[in-house]
Structure formats: structure tokens, C-alpha cells
Chains A and B, each alone.
Chain A
Amino acid sequence: MSKTVLITRPYYDDTTHYLYHWSSLPIILASKRKDIKIVQLVEDKVNKKNFESITSKIAPSFIFMNGHGSDSVIAGHNSEYLVEVGVNEAVFDSRIIYALSCSSGKLLGPASIKAGARAYVGYDDVFVFYTDLASVSKAMFLEPSNTVVNALLKGHTVSDAHNRSQKEFMKNIQTLLTMSSDTYLVPWLLWDMRHQVCLGDKTSALQ
């Protein structure tokens, strides 16, 4: 039976521009798998109406959210709220969520678990990354993020996906400390690593 994955990929400012392109890598990986069906909401299609409608229609077991966020919100195109605490967090019921968005792990994550989400990986404070054209710096931040998605797509548990991501962050930090002149990246990378949270049933995996 095919596992359905929903990915939101807004694209309207500098930050979403980077996340949009970076989130294409797990999609390429998943496209080689016959047991995974990827459904994307992209650019101006990433609005609340479409998000709720498609989630209800395809019943994804995993949702990968890209975009801006806050303690209680994940946003879509032009910062339109897609999911908000006290409004529609039940849309995550029975699903595994990975939110590459600022701070939503603080309130929305726990509220989603309470509303029935199987697991929620996200960040409980701002997510930071370097955006210079030399992709090496950017990759240092966004590869550990993609590790969460890739591990889940390969069938690993949420806990394993989180741990692999943490290891990838630490590997990049150690590389910077020992082999690079770019050690100024370390505090920012360590911040992202420390603020990635893993909530809910950590033994759950894609079904």
C-alpha cells in the first residue's frame, strides 16, 4: 500500500525561496520509491483552504511543512496561517508532522499531539541559516533538516529521524570546528540543533 506524503512549499520571500529549493531534495529521493506518493502544495496554492481540503482528501500519513511560523502558527503563501493553535490543529490528527518553520514546536507541536497527531518534529525557537551563494554554508544548516524527512521516507521511526538529524548537526559542527575557517557558523548551527524538538509517539513511522 502506498504511503502518502504532503509537502507545503510556499515561495514568496527570501526565506521561503531557500526552503522551497531545499525541500526539492527529499522529493527527488521519494520519487524513486514506488511505495510513496508525494503530493505538493506550492507557491500561491499554499493557503489554508487548499491545505485543509487536500489533507482531508488524501489523508497523508506524513506532512512536511515549510514556511514561516511562530509559537502557535505555521504559515503558507504570504504568511497566511495554515494551522493555528485553538483553530485547526486537529488537521494533524493521526499524522506525523515535520515543520521546518520557526518556533511552532513550542505551542503548536504540543497542541497537535493533544489533538491526535502521532508525532511532531519541529523547532521551539527561531530556525536560522546562512544564505550566501556558496551552498556549503547553507547545506550545513538545511541538510540536517532534510535528514529528518529522508529518514522518515525510508521508514525509520520518528525518534530515529530526530536522532539522525541531531547527529548530522553535530557532525557539521565538528567539521567546522576542526577543518574550517568558518567557525563563526557554529553558534547558529548549535542553536538549530538544540531547538529541534521531537514530540508525541517517538516509535511511530510512516504507514
Chain B
Amino acid sequence: MNPNIRETQKEITKLVIARLEVIPYNKKISIGSEGEFTKSELIQAVKDNNELGKKITEIQLEYLRLLKEGIFL
């Protein structure tokens, strides 16, 4: 993989994990047929970059993109 792309991917992973860190420990989220997940399970999926982790990343990045586009203005 191109070193620049790899570096960007690392930065995205760090950003998404930082956003997930604010979720309280007692919360669980249901993501489709994947099941229910705790905060630490969500973070691990993002670190592993598995299918669940990719979907979590997509959800968080879509939010940031919409914020940048001014969805709440």
C-alpha cells in the first residue's frame, strides 16, 4: 500500500477511535445483523479493520462530512 494512504488510514482509525472513546461503558449499540456491541468491542473492530469496523468508520466519517457541509446550519 502507498505509504501516504497507509498514513491517512492510520489517522482515520485514530480519529474514529477517539470519537468512540466518549461512549459510556454501560451503553451497547445494535448494528444490523452483526449484533450488539459495547464500546470496547466497537473500538476493537475498528482496530481490526474488519467488516464491522469498516461500517463504524463509515458512519463516523459520514457524520464528520455532513458537519463540514453544514447540515445543522
Residues of chain B with a CB closer than 8 A to A191's CB = 59, 62-63
* Cross-chain contact of B28 among A132, A173, A174, A187 (Cβ < 8 A): A132
The complex places the Cα of A149 from the Cα of B59 at a distance, in Å, of 26
A131-B28, A184-B22, A187-B60 known; A15-B36 Cβ under 8 A = yes
Determine whether B23 belongs to the interface, using a CB cutoff of 8 Å to chain A. yes
Determine whether B26 belongs to the interface, using a CB cutoff of 8 Å to chain A. yes
Interface size class of A (residues with CB under 8 A): 20 to 34
The complex places the Cα of A114 from the Cα of B72 at a distance, in Å, of 35
Determine whether B6 belongs to the interface, using a CB cutoff of 8 Å to chain A. no
Give the contacts of B2-44 with A (CB-CB under 8 A): 19, 22-23, 26-36
Residues of chain A with a CB closer than 8 A to B35's CB = 13-15
Q: Give chain B nearest CB distance to A82 CB in angstroms.
A: 14
Residues of chain B with a CB closer than 8 A to A23's CB = none
* Cross-chain contact of A129 among B22, B30, B33, B72 (Cβ < 8 A): B30
* B33:A68 contact, CB within 8 angstroms: yes
Residues of chain B with a CB closer than 8 A to A85's CB = none
Determine whether A190 belongs to the interface, using a CB cutoff of 8 Å to chain B. yes
Annotate A96-118 by CB proximity to B: 1 below 8 A, 0 otherwise: 00000011000000000000000
* B33:A128 contact, CB within 8 angstroms: no
The complex places the Cα of A18 from the Cα of B28 at a distance, in Å, of 13
Annotate A147-188 by CB proximity to B: 1 below 8 A, 0 otherwise: 000000000000000000000000001100100000010111
Determine whether B66 belongs to the interface, using a CB cutoff of 8 Å to chain A. yes
Most chain A CB within 10 A, of B29, B55, B72, is at B29
The complex places the Cα of A127 from the Cα of B27 at a distance, in Å, of 17
Annotate B54-73 by CB proximity to A: 1 below 8 A, 0 otherwise: 01000110110010000110
Closest B-chain residue to A141, C-beta based? B30
* Cross-chain contact of B30 among A131, A173, A174, A190 (Cβ < 8 A): A131
Q: Which 9 A-B residue pairs are closest in the complex by CB-CB distance? A: A187-B63, A126-B32, A102-B32, A68-B33, A14-B36, A132-B27, A131-B28, A191-B59, A184-B22
B interface residue numbers (CB < 8 A to A): 19, 22-23, 26-36, 55, 59-60, 62-63, 66, 71-72
11 pairs across A/B with beta carbons < 8 Å? A15-B32, A68-B33, A126-B31, A126-B34, A126-B55, A128-B32, A128-B59, A130-B30, A132-B28, A184-B19, A190-B62
